[in-house]
Structure 1
Amino acid sequence: MHGKFSLPLTQQMEGAPEQDGIDLRQLQDFFWRRWKTIVATAITVMVLVFFVLLTVAPRYTGTAQVLLEPRKEKIFGADNILPELNLETSNVDSQVSVIQSINLLRRVVEKEKLTGDVEFGQPPRAGLLNFILGSFRSDDADRKAVEKTADGTIPPDVLRSIGRLRNALEVQRINRTYVLSISVTSEDPVKAARLANAVADMFVVDQLDARYDAAKRASIWLAERMEGLREQVRQSEEAVAQFRREHNLVATSSEAKVTISEQQLSELNGKLIAARADLAEKRAKYEQVAQIGGQGGNLQAIPDVVRSSVISSLRSQQAEVARKEADLLARYSEQHPQVVNARAERRDIERSIAAEVQRILTNLKNDYDVARAREESLQASLAKISGETGLDNSVGVRLRELERLNVGNKTLFDNFLSRAKITQEQSTFEEREARVISPATRPSAPSFPKTGLIEALAGALGLLLGVGGAVALDMLNAGFLTPREIEMKLGLPVLATVPILLEGDRKIDGKVVDPPRYLASKPLSRYAEAVRALRVGVQMADVDNPAKIVLVTSAIPNEGKSTLAVSLALSAEMAGQRVLLVDGDLRHPTMSKYFDLHSADGLVDFLTGKVSLEAALVERGGLTILPVGAKSQNPPDMLGSERMKFLIDSLRREFDYIVIDSPPLGPVIDAKVLTALIDKVVFVVRWRTTTRETVAQHLESFAQNRKIAGIAFNMVDETKTPRYGPYSHYSGYYYKKYYQN
């Protein structure tokens, strides 16, 4: 094969997948190659996490549930003065803040005496472990937040306990219901359940206290207002009596009869008073609606809207549809017909609520207009009748004015008296608006740490670290791992993959022999077959002009170059050829030492003219060997001399196959000098050892003369090569199916 080397068929077949996508077989080989590293890393991480978990104190969570419920019916009549619990979403969320408030938690701390508790009260113990664990907690942040909101009257130890209790407390609204979940986490399961129940009970008590305080304030305000109204009634009655006395209008039994006009006037006065009272009430409602609407407030919080049975029914339907929508979304996508229908139904209900609210507001406006028109009509009728009775003089007008004022004061006083009685009764009736529906019980298992979950996460993290480490190991491996990699990186064919022979593999009759003797003793072994493949590969490198003189070299020392050169010569000799083995490494004559010819005459002696060629050649078991001989001070000049060229030409005529063992290219240039004298070069690359950059750098010296036959991939551990891809071991795996050593 002269000219540019073309890729093998296997690489041509795999070229497109490598460029277009990920080769799953390469991933499989990677995991098969590095599974021990990955699994060991994962197990190490899991073991470390396990030991860390052993040092972490388990924490338990106790959970209680509280139901918020308004009064379904009014016990003392429709006109209730005390505020009721509004269960709109914002108000329910505000109850969560109430449970987490300083005042409520302070009452829990004081009731449960948490200031003396080791976990919630005492200062943290000094020490490195506590310092490290404390850096991951939010106790200090919560304590500082509590101090900012406190008024300065709370003792420091109570503040510390409040902050830790708030850090251990979690309050959540369960879905869209009126149920609040109160959870407390503690190192003691009994304490966790006890504190959760204490917070829930304290919230219920706080609701009752708030209602009692509101009733108490209402009673005090009504009592003060009653005193003022009572004084106004007394003064108005005295004014009427005084006016009658001054104008001699004291009625007698005969004067008790009045005319029809006077009776009508009296009735109109009563109706006018009632109309004015009704107008004042409806004006107040209408102005309240106008004020809330002008300020952008929530019109649905107006009492008439809240008391509407239609609104309550629609809100119940809205909650049911919302629950249905949430359930459908958990099972289907947002475009599912049932989800779309549920959302449409919810929007219809919302529009119905808005329409009903608008209708109520319109009714309030209409009621106000009707009441105002009625009051104006009664006023006009009263003025007309007053003119007809002849009592529209200043005395009559003044008397009726005083009487109307007196009647109005009495009516107002009676209304306040009735409200005061209702408020007094309500303050003594403890109707609960929140109650505990599920008290906390002792938790059977810790909520932290979740050993199984944490270990699973540690295992996943360990696998990721293991994969990363395995990738790093592969990237740090600078040597060639597969023949395919050599061919792709260097553009040269791999002539043979020569397996490594360990001491256990080279035992013959209980003795460990060297690879060349092993080849001679085991001609059907995998090693012998690899050397034969190398020899045939060199011959096929140029079919028209088969190589007769082969130079064996490498990039750096210790790549098995000399051993492979001796084995190649033995293989050719076993094939019936007349073979010459030349030791061309004048500095380190390894081959000469192998045959125990380091003190014999050889190549240097012939080149210097000390001995003849026949005296320099040595026979060893069918092989003809030309050792180095004496030492040389200038090997490159000697190898490039005219006498060396003459020697090579003479040997070419005498022998069928000549193998020259040359020094590596890295340290010296001897192999480059010999290149001009030989036919082909076998470049030895050791598996996983020789760096890719070194091999590529030294192969450039053969780029011009094109004498390189190919690469001998030497000392390959075939027990591991299947891990590096389907073409990493070539015929070695299949060879063992036919021949055993």
Structure 2
Amino acid sequence: MNQEQDGSATQDLAGIVSRFRRHLPIGFAIIVLMMVLAYGATKMMTPKYSASAQLSYSPQQALSRDGQPAPPTQTTDAARDAAIESQLQIATSLPVAIRALQDPEVAKNPTILARAKAFDPSGKSSDAMAAALLSGVSAARVGTTALFSIGYSDGDPLAAARIANVVAGAYLAVQAQQKLGQGSATSNQLKGQVEKLRQQALEADAAVAAYRLKHNILTDPNATLPDNELSNIGVQLSDARGAAAQAETRSAASGSTVISGGVDTTALSTLREQRAEASRDLAGLTSRYGDRNPQVIDARQKVADLDTAIGREMASMSRSARAESAAAAARSASLQASLAQAQSKLAGAVNASVQLAELQRRADNAHTLYTNLLTASGQQNANSALIQPDAQMVTPAVVPLAPTSPRMLINLLVGFVAGLAIAVAVAYLRERWSQTINTIDDVQRLLGVEFLTTIPTLQSSIDKPKTRDPAEAVILHPLSSYAEAFRSLAQTLIFDARKAEAEGGRVIGVGSALPREGKTTTTISIARVLAMAATKVVLIDSDLRRRSVTETLAPETQKGWIDVLNGTATLSEVMIEDQTGAIILPLAPGSERAQRVFDSGKFEEMLAHLREHFEVVVIDTAPVLALVDTRAMMPHLDSFVLLAHWRTTPVKAIRAALHQLDTVGAAVAGVAMTMVNLKTQAQSGYGDASYYYSEMKDYYVSS
């Protein structure tokens, strides 16, 4: 109970649903209204047609420097999803829209022109036109595949299909241009490096040429010519030196009769042979004829002539030997000088070849780098010509046959969902800030007192009532759930009244916080069901201002129990017997002027007398908040029930009434709800006995 009073008790799903079912009428009205609005809005909308081109994302493999496809790289699903998402962003980007607007038919589309004026009053701005175009463009991925679509919506189906294809083509063009731009940047960078290396190669070649000219290197310094030349000079020098030595030897021996080696002595030998022959002839003639013989003299003269000739020949040969020796010496000296010069030249050539080789290596390296980079640049240019976008058109957009929006069914569903959401929100707010009593849970949670029973309305508890008078219905339909509710309340109050220490019959009071709570009907019905059950019961009308019981059961009476207290009448004179056997103590006209009636000893004496002669005394009291009479009567009551009009009486009013009763120590048995619609409560009154009305109705007789 404490948890319920604190509002912290949990409630099962059935209870929650039951509480919301109380608001079904207004919720249903909200849903119907929203669906009607959705229907009307749909009818007022301009039909739109959507067409979409389907594309596939398949990145092209990069080309290596030799023009062959590079090995494929492994891509994770997350990376592929991110790449496809980036393509969707590109498809709906400003560059794609600007590219698509280059198509004249797209640029002149009336829908796009009208939308552009919303961004720019002139409607001529390229950005405004692009924004207007993009407002109708959509891009979406097809599931988790590599496919995605680019669509466009327009009032004209032909325009929708054409613009969708134009935008898809613009997307492919922009993507290819972006890739080409990346390749162009690389190509430009390569061109710059190629030009730089070309200049370096030219500078290196110029340095080699300048060095060759400076050092007079016209041939390959590594060739064998200098070595061969040096070797030839050495051989010639050796021969010259040998020839000089022989010439010197011949020159030295030129005065000797024996000359040999390298000198032509043919003439000398002939002369010598002639002299030898002449000497033999002379010797023969001398031995034969003596010295004076003319033949001997002639022979002797011939020998002398031959000796003279030999001398002259030897002198000539000596001069020739000396000249030859001098020439050989000069040639040897010349060859020696040439050898020294060749050796010096060879040493210079060796040093120059080392420097030239270094310069040549630099030039060769520059040429190699230049050639390689030039080849790479050419391949890059060739690759640029082969660049393809990473997406390919799979299916172009076709002309739609039916409008894609507005869709009546979807809009009605949206209206229903929106109405349902609003209805639930309204139900929650009404439930949250509810200021009335709906169920037993409300009584215990909001008021903190016992819940006694539920008093239904006549129409909800009896299918075909024989009367419209609620108080008379308990007589005409004694076995109905309507009559049973009053019997239940009467029995509860009687059991509660037995706790009192007073002797005799039990005095029970029926009251309410405010007027028109069903108090009078409840009081009369309690008295009647008790009387119909053979209980001696008396009903006292104590509502001095309204006299509701009297006006209902005895409107013509002129005397009442106030007159008994005043001594102008007796109880037997004012008692009126009801058709059920219940006794009525009415109020006479003018009773509202009576003062301090309920705290007088005479009223207490009258109640004591009634206790002695009746089993139950039922008192119809005035509204607690309206008059002090009910609080003044509380000490005389054994039990009291406070009635609350179902879903009508404010909780604050009931709390105020209970507080006022508590200040006088009233024995309040609890709160009973009146005028409850059983059929409605059976649907939404989760936890109440009436919630199970459909299961119990067979026990009642409504006819």
1:570 aligns with 2:539: no
What is aligned with 2:276? none
Cα offset, 1:214, TM superposition: 6.7
Partner of 1:647, secondary structure, is: helix
Partner of 2:173, secondary structure, is: helix
Residues 442 and 391 of structure 1: CA distance in aligned 2, closer, same or farther (over 3 Å): same
Out of 715, 720, 725, the residue aligned to residue 675 of structure 2 is 715
Cα offset, 1:459, TM superposition: 5.3
- Partner Cα separation in structure 2 for residue 615 and residue 712 of structure 1: 34
Cα offset, 1:94, TM superposition: 13
Cα offset, 1:163, TM superposition: 5.0
Cα offset, 1:191, TM superposition: 1.0
Cα offset, 1:29, TM superposition: 1.8
What is aligned with 2:688? 727
What is aligned with 2:291? none
Partner of 1:541, secondary structure, is: helix
What is aligned with 1:517? 472
The superposition leaves residues 139-174 of structure 1 with CA deviations (integer Å, 9 ceiling, x where unpaired) of: 79xx9xxxxxxxxxxx97334445556777788999
Cα offset, 1:601, TM superposition: 1.8
Between 1:613-622 and 1:579-588, the stretch displaced more is: 613-622
- Partner Cα separation in structure 1 for residue 175 and residue 404 of structure 2: 24
What is aligned with 2:169? 197
1:694 aligns with 2:653: yes
Cα offset, 1:450, TM superposition: 9.3
The superposition leaves residues 475-520 of structure 1 with CA deviations (integer Å, 9 ceiling, x where unpaired) of: 3432222345435554544444322113994966xx6352333222
What is aligned with 2:430? 473
Contact 2:96 2:170 in 1 (8 A): no
Partner of 1:434, secondary structure, is: coil
Q: Which amino acid aligns with 2:18?
A: D
Partner of 2:429, secondary structure, is: helix
Between 1:511-520 and 1:411-420, the stretch displaced more is: 411-420
1:662 aligns with 2:662: no
- Partner Cα separation in structure 1 for residue 85 and residue 699 of structure 2: 83
- Once the two structures are superposed, the pairs formed by residues 241-260 of structure 1 within 5 Å of their partners are 241=213, 243-244=215-216, 256=225, 258=227
Q: Which amino acid aligns with 2:510?
A: V
1:486 aligns with 2:486: no
What is aligned with 1:684? 643
Contact 1:506 1:518 in 2 (8 A): no
Cα offset, 1:668, TM superposition: 0.6
Residues 214 and 50 of structure 1: CA distance in aligned 2, closer, same or farther (over 3 Å): farther
Residues 546 and 434 of structure 1: CA distance in aligned 2, closer, same or farther (over 3 Å): farther
5+ residue gaps in structure 1?
A: 1-10, 127-138, 144-154, 263-387
- Once the two structures are superposed, the pairs formed by residues 528-607 of structure 1 within 5 Å of their partners are 528-543=483-498, 547-607=505-565
Q: Which amino acid aligns with 1:124?
A: A
- Partner Cα separation in structure 2 for residue 84 and residue 111 of structure 1: 39
**Greater Rg, structure 1 or structure 2?**
2
What is aligned with 1:283? none
Partner of 1:512, secondary structure, is: coil
What is aligned with 2:583? 624
Give the superposed CA RMSD: 5.3
1:438 aligns with 2:393: yes
Contact 1:68 1:434 in 2 (8 A): no
TM-score (norm 1): 0.62
- Partner Cα separation in structure 1 for residue 140 and residue 700 of structure 2: 75
Q: Which amino acid aligns with 1:110?
A: Q
Q: Which amino acid aligns with 2:627?
A: V
Partner of 1:607, secondary structure, is: helix
Q: Which amino acid aligns with 1:478?
A: Q
- Partner Cα separation in structure 2 for residue 390 and residue 451 of structure 1: 109
Out of 392, 397, 410, the residue aligned to residue 351 of structure 2 is 397
- Partner Cα separation in structure 1 for residue 582 and residue 358 of structure 2: 148
Residues 480 and 405 of structure 1: CA distance in aligned 2, closer, same or farther (over 3 Å): closer
Q: Which amino acid aligns with 1:740?
A: V
TM-score (norm 2): 0.64
- Partner Cα separation in structure 2 for residue 175 and residue 522 of structure 1: 68
Cα offset, 1:557, TM superposition: 0.9
Residues 450 and 407 of structure 1: CA distance in aligned 2, closer, same or farther (over 3 Å): farther
- Once the two structures are superposed, the pairs formed by residues 177-188 of structure 1 within 5 Å of their partners are 183=150, 185-187=152-154, 188=160
Partner of 1:438, secondary structure, is: strand
Contact 1:539 1:547 in 2 (8 A): no
Q: Which amino acid aligns with 2:667?
A: K
- Partner Cα separation in structure 2 for residue 228 and residue 185 of structure 1: 57
Q: Which amino acid aligns with 2:548?
A: T
Cα offset, 1:101, TM superposition: 8.4
- Partner Cα separation in structure 1 for residue 26 and residue 506 of structure 2: 48
Q: How many residues align?
A: 569
- Partner Cα separation in structure 2 for residue 491 and residue 218 of structure 1: 90
- Partner Cα separation in structure 1 for residue 489 and residue 85 of structure 2: 86
Contact 1:553 1:681 in 2 (8 A): yes
Q: Which amino acid aligns with 1:538?
A: L
Contact 1:115 1:157 in 2 (8 A): no
Contact 2:538 2:584 in 1 (8 A): yes
Contact 2:106 2:163 in 1 (8 A): no
Contact 2:638 2:667 in 1 (8 A): yes
What is aligned with 1:498? 455
- Partner Cα separation in structure 2 for residue 95 and residue 542 of structure 1: 82
Partner of 2:522, secondary structure, is: helix
